[in-house]
Structure 1
């Protein structure tokens, strides 16, 4: 199966602004990329467009403007001139075309047996206040069999208890806010599930990428998506508290402790979003688009970005 993903994101910048973009696919997909996966940055001044220099990453070279962050995500940094800025790109990835696997017998390792690099995904982070959820998680899930049984129960509990409402999105909402309010958007579902998982000593990390309506009913305008992964049987396994039924066509872009680590764009100054388009869909070998199944589900568009103002406050649009 071939999955094509594309985006066109535009900002207006009042003044020259340093930016970081996390818009490439995850390096683990390198062997599956059949076309594209390049970021084009353009300065738009009226009818005139000009490219903004962006260095591509090469393993044998010293990266100047492109680098891998501490989680292994591929990042691009550039100095954007004042005015209009357009970030665009496409990619085609070959995938098996299988739905998210159900690993019913996956085992949970004791904390002392976990790889050292995985331990950070048991700790509290910006949006996942593990320190506040210990008694809550123990009361809800402490009695359950460790491993996939408990991990999937946490996922399903969050899915059932939280109501989706785009209008409630805010960049400061934490897992405790979601637990208290019982309403949120994609990233809020994942933050709460990640926090509860970590409290039960199940390493969990936040993931962002594409999840189009592939072999599924059309659900509205496309966007980036958020899900999470748990570490069982010595590897990372997909979980999604928002879409808790197995899905086809997840395309990984970045992973981190929570949404703060994987913002699609970060501007070190004021950046006003003026256009946002994202889509991900199945295509045939000749490029023909395979349509979604009939049916519609109302869904508001979402944006994953971070906008750091002069005071250093993190603002942004959230899933």
Structure 2
């Protein structure tokens, strides 16, 4: 039996599905309801990180996470999906000009709410220092990682410290490139009066004080960048290793090399929701993966075989009790097109 979704129901679905993660909180996914009542997931190419993600892999990974979040949100309304079309290659004409088709959901018979659906409220990205995990949490984390092929936990404190320092070095090298620095600045919300707090990474999430935020705006500006680097101001503002070393572990997330980014994104969301259920939150380390030699070495040291691709590196830990970051999300009206 085919089910036609109504516009009001789509609003409720998108309200939930927009909580899915995306690199730098760019939120590239858009939703469209066609005349047949099917739901299209579309990618907005203007939200792609053109310097950090030139091939659009991470954008489609985020859209895959949004796709799975849509399925979970539909289940909360008692709606199932009869058929899902992935558009990795040879996509049809877009129902909305300027946007790229990612997937199309044909709704079917009713279903029970998925057990992971409520966890979308509890998952967030934590950019500050972590609290110490208790022994039960650490054991649960270890047991969980063993259940999933392609997950590797780095638990050795010395290795965590080494990876944290290497990530800082990789980030500073990237920030030394003017185009990357400009893109990085574009997605940081550093308190400019005209900046809407609906996307990107806010200064508060980075642990920047009011003075630190002003200095970050200055350090990332093209004119002041050379002096900021020479004075090591950029390093002091954006180095993460001290906070990274408080992580319980570093998690490597690998998937089959031939798997589409959409399918990988769906699995990515599941793993992050399961982590939240265990009381852990993640903080990505994309700078290391941006360096092919470093990524290959990490994959090799972790024993990830050649048939798998290293998708993400995360610092994971338990956020301090009672602290949650601001959740910046675009309004539903902008996401339904």
Common topology (TM > 0.5): no
- Higher fraction of strand: 1
- What TM-score results when the alignment is normalised by the length of structure 2? 0.30
- Higher fraction of helix: 2
- What TM-score results when the alignment is normalised by the length of structure 1? 0.32
